[in-house]
């Protein structure tokens, strides 16, 4: 079609020119000249003049991972009841916390002198790697040899919303770009018909940081995560309105396209061409997103393996959806599962009640996800990350100075566990150690910047070179502070 060829030629002209002019958003990718075919072009030029220039498509070096599934357990799960075995803490159970751990520290809810709380559940060693798991993780035993634990993760935020923002966007304040936005900005997407960055929620609530946790921040809004849902419209406004058949809709979009093409001939504004392309893309997305999000297409065995229940908004469904989306070329799938904040102030947030249930709801589908990805040959090039926004204190929470009614732990920014799997990380490996009660790291601490630098590295991106000009600064996911690629965990 003439318009299409014309469109591509203009885009290339524009792009070349902008690269040389080097103004506004800096981005000197080799995108245009390397691309072939209209549809790729359309994807690559999502957005207006303002952001075309900042699109990069090619990684900086050979990637180990092509895609990411990030499982965030919002509320911060207790490492001491899952992956971090501390027999010494068991011995000290019930004793007053030594003053050295309290003075100068800020706590969300602990007041006065709290008591140490031993692991609430027994641990055992599993697999060849001999990883320690609590008895709450039954299925996970099968994949423990596939994951790489970071036992000495640290943050500097001890409230949920800021800590989630920090681990998602690299900054504790809202308005920064999330890691998923950076990755889609850096690599684009491999799918023509789906958003490149999809967000799935379970647990009945937003993560505490709300939509800011998947915001594009200062990046153009095309890079923000698109929330998909397993009930209702899978993507907001995806379905035709009641009474509008797909034939009618097809005719309407065709008419819009034809009129817009005439407008382009009259006015010559390339934005009109972009708009034509976006309407076609929207139409295709209506079909492919509905299909991708429909887990009823899966076999009964698969549904069983994940514990998925079509129509519900649960973590199991979202784990399965993550795999379906990844299969279809989505670059970054971000899951949030709300409800891990086990303070012990009430039953549903007690370690031996609500938390126990959360473990059960997580154990099976997350295990299934890793097994399923592996079985389909996707694990090698899919990086899976699992974690919370901080850890839990070795002390039993004593809200208002009195031990809480149920066993629970307060927010603990100094040390917690996250794990990675697939996508070029060492399987069956543990990195980082904490002291005998799990309070501070004693070896190989990792902060969120290091984690981000490492995720980008595995994706073939140099975190120092993935930048976007905003407010006079070349902004980076890893900010201006030092960030280290954890090369020790790269396979």
Partner 1 sequence: MRLNRRSVVGLVLASVALLSLARSDEGSGAPTISFATQVRPIFNQHCIACHGGIKQTAGISFVYRDTVVGTTADDGKVVVPGNPGESELIARISSTDPDERMPPQDHGGPLSPDEIGILRQWIAEGARWETHWAFEPPKHRPIPKVSHAEWCRTNLDFSVMEQWDRLGLKPNRPADPATWLRRVSFDLVGLPPTAEELDEFLIDSSPLSREHVVERLLSSPRFGERWASPWLDLARYADTMGYEKDLGREIWPFRDWVIRALNDDMPFDQFSVKQLAGDLLPNASLDDRLATAFHRNTQTNAEGGTDDEEYRVAAVIDRANTSAQVWLGLTLGCAQCHDHPYEPIANAEYYRFLAFFNNTRDYDTDEEFPKAAIPYDRNQSEAASQLDRDIQARKRQIQASVEPWFGDDRWQNAKIESAQATGSNELCFDAVDGLWEIRTGASLTAGSTYTIDCPLPPEATRITAIRLDALPLDVGAAAKLPQPGFILSYFKLQLLVPDRDPIDIPLRYALDEDPEPFYSASESLDSNLQGFSGYPRQSQINRAIFVPAVPVDCPPGGKLRFVLEHHSSSEHLFQIRRARFWYCGDDFWSEPPRQESLELKHCALADLEWRRSRLNSISVPVLSELPPERRRTTFVFHRGSFLEPTEIVTPSTPRALSSSKSNPLADRLELARWLASPENPLAARVFVNRIWNELFGSGIVESIENFGSSGQFPANEALLDSLAIRFQSGMRWRLKQLLREIVLSSTYGQDSSVDRGAWSADPRNRNLARGPRNRLSAEMVRDQALAVAGVLSEKMYGPPVMPPQPDGLWLSAYNGQSWHNATGEDRFRRAVYTYCKRTSGYPGLLSFDAPTRDVCVVKRIATNTPLQALVTLNDAAFVELAHAFGERIRNCDRADPRDKIAWGYRLATSRDPSPKKLDLLLELFEKISKSTDPLKVSDEAETPYSIVASALLNLDEALTK
Binding status of residue 2 toward partner 1 by CB under 8 A: no
Q: Which of 38, 40, 47, 145 binds partner 1 (CB under 8 A)?
A: 47
Report the residue number, 248 or 442, with the smaller CB distance to partner 1. Answer: 248
d(CA 131, CA 59): 34
Place of tokens 């035993």: 141
- Pick out residues in 119-148 that bind partner 1 (CB under 8 A): none
d(CA 217, CA 468): 11
- Pick out residues in 452-491 that bind partner 1 (CB under 8 A): 470-473, 480
- Cβ atoms of residues 332 and 322 within 8 Å: no
d(CA 377, CA 139): 20
- Cβ atoms of residues 354 and 81 within 8 Å: no
- Cβ atoms of residues 364 and 316 within 8 Å: yes
d(CA 12, CA 33): 8
Binding status of residue 358 toward partner 1 by CB under 8 A: no
Torsion angle in degrees (nearest 10) through CA of 103, 109, 114, 118: -120
CA dist list (Å): 290 to 182, 244, 297, 447: 26, 16, 11, 38
User: Segment contacting partner 1 (CB under 8 A): 101-109, 180-188, 426-434, 452-460?
Assistant: 101-109
Q: Which of 95, 175, 246, 347 binds partner 1 (CB under 8 A)?
A: 175
Q: Which of 4, 105, 142, 211 binds partner 1 (CB under 8 A)?
A: 211
Report the residue number, 222 or 437, with the smaller CB distance to partner 1. Answer: 222
- Cβ atoms of residues 183 and 331 within 8 Å: yes
- Maximum CA pair distance of the chain? 81
Q: Which of 87, 94, 98, 112 binds partner 1 (CB under 8 A)?
A: 112
Q: Which of 402, 443, 464, 484 binds partner 1 (CB under 8 A)?
A: 402
Binding track, positions 330-349, relative to partner 1; x by CB under 8 A: --------x-----------
Q: Which of 64, 151, 331, 411 binds partner 1 (CB under 8 A)?
A: 411
d(CA 454, CA 150): 12
Write the Ramachandran bin of 176: left for phi over 0, alpha for psi from -120 to 50, otherwise beta: beta
Minimum separation from the CB atom of position 408 to partner 1 (A):
13
- Pick out residues in 155-174 that bind partner 1 (CB under 8 A): 158-162, 173-174
Minimum separation from the CB atom of position 461 to partner 1 (A):
15
- Pick out residues in 277-306 that bind partner 1 (CB under 8 A): 278-279, 281-282, 285-286
Minimum separation from the CB atom of position 143 to partner 1 (A):
30
Minimum separation from the CB atom of position 356 to partner 1 (A):
21
User: Segment contacting partner 1 (CB under 8 A): 117-125, 140-148, 270-278, 298-306?
Assistant: 270-278
d(CA 159, CA 32): 43
Binding status of residue 39 toward partner 1 by CB under 8 A: no
- Pick out residues in 370-399 that bind partner 1 (CB under 8 A): 399
Binding track, positions 225-264, relative to partner 1; x by CB under 8 A: -x--x--xx-xxxxxxxxxxx-xxx-xxxxxx-xxx-xxx
User: Segment contacting partner 1 (CB under 8 A): 82-90, 117-125, 152-160, 292-300?
Assistant: 152-160
Report the residue number, 317 or 382, with the smaller CB distance to partner 1. Answer: 317
User: Segment contacting partner 1 (CB under 8 A): 138-146, 210-218, 324-332, 447-455?
Assistant: 210-218
- Cβ atoms of residues 394 and 80 within 8 Å: yes
Binding status of residue 7 toward partner 1 by CB under 8 A: no
Place of tokens 């819009």: 256
Task: Name 361's Cβ contacts closer than 8 Å, sequence gap at least 6.
Answer: 307, 314, 315, 316, 337
Concatenated DSSP letters of 181-204: HHHHHHH--S-SSS-SEEEEEESS
* SS3 category, 389: coil
Q: Which of 4, 105, 142, 205 binds partner 1 (CB under 8 A)?
A: 205
Minimum separation from the CB atom of position 283 to partner 1 (A):
8
Q: Which helix (H) or strand (E) holds 419?
A: strand 416-422
Binding status of residue 400 toward partner 1 by CB under 8 A: yes
Size of the site for partner 1 (CB under 8 A): 110
Binding status of residue 99 toward partner 1 by CB under 8 A: yes
Please report how many Cα atoms fall inside a 13 Å half-sphere around the Cα of residue 28, on the Cβ side.
Answer: 6
Binding status of residue 436 toward partner 1 by CB under 8 A: no
Report the residue number, 243 or 377, with the smaller CB distance to partner 1. Answer: 243
Q: 354-375 and 315-327 are packed helices; what angle lies between their axes, rounded to 10 degrees?
A: 20
SS (H, E, C) 340-367: CCCCCCCHHHCCCCHHHHHHHHHHHHHH
Report the residue number, 129 or 169, with the smaller CB distance to partner 1. Answer: 169
Report the residue number, 264 or 429, with the smaller CB distance to partner 1. Answer: 264
Q: Which of 135, 269, 405, 488 binds partner 1 (CB under 8 A)?
A: 269
């Amino acid at each position: 079609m003439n318009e299409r060829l014309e469109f591509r030629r203009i885009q290339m002209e524009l792009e070349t020119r902008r690269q040389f002019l080097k103004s506004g958003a800096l981005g000197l990718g080799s995108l245009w000249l390397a691309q072939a075919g209209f549809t790729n072009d359309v994807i690559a030029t999502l957005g207006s003049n303002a952001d075309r220039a900042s699109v990069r498509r090619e990684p900086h070096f050979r990637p180990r991972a092509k895609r990411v599934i990030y499982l965030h357990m919002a509320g911060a799960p207790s490492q001491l009841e899952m992956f971090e075995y501390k027999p010494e803490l068991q011995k000290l159970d019930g004793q007053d916390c030594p003053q050295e751990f309290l003075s100068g520290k800020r706590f969300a809810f602990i007041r006065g002198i709290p008591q140490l709380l031993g692991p609430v559940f027994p641990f055992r060693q599993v697999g060849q790697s001999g990883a320690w798991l609590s008895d709450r993780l039954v299925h996970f035993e099968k994949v423990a040899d596939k994951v790489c634990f970071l036992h000495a993760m640290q943050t500097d935020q001890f409230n949920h919303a800021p800590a989630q923002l920090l681990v998602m966007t690299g900054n504790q304040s809202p308005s920064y770009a999330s890691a998923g936005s950076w990755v889609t900005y850096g690599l684009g997407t491999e799918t023509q018909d789906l958003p490149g960055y999809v967000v799935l929620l379970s647990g009945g609530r937003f993560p505490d940081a709300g939509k800011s946790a998947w915001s594009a921040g200062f990046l153009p809004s095309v890079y923000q995560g698109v929330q998909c849902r397993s009930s209702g419209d899978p993507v907001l406004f995806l379905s035709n309105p009641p009474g509008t058949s797909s034939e009618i809709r097809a005719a309407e979009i065709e008419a819009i396209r034809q009129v817009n093409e005439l407008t382009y001939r009259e006015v010559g504004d390339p934005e009109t061409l972009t708009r034509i392309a976006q309407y076609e893309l929207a139409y295709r997305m209506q079909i492919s997103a509905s299909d991708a999000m429909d887990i009823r297409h899966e076999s009964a065995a698969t549904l069983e393996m994940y514990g998925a229940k079509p129509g519900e908004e649960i973590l199991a469904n979202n784990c399965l959806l993550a795999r379906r989306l990844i299969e279809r070329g989505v670059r970054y799938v971000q899951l949030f599962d709300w409800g891990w904040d086990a303070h012990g102030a009430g039953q549903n947030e007690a370690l031996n009640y609500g938390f126990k249930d959360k473990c059960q709801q997580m154990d099976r589908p997350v295990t299934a996800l890793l097994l399923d990805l592996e079985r389909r040959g996707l694990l090698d090039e899919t990086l899976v990350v699992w974690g919370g926004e901080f850890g839990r204190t070795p002390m039993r929470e004593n809200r208002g100075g009195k031990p809480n009614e149920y066993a629970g732990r307060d927010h603990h920014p100094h040390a917690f566990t996250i794990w990675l799997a697939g996508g070029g990380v060492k399987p069956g490996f543990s990195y980082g150690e904490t002291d005998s009660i799990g309070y501070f790291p004693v070896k190989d601490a990792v902060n969120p910047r290091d984690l981000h630098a490492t995720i980008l590295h595995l994706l073939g991106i140099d975190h120092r070179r993935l930048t976007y000009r905003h407010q006079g600064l070349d902004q980076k996911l890893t900010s201006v502070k030092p960030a280290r690629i954890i090369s020790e965990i790269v396979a």
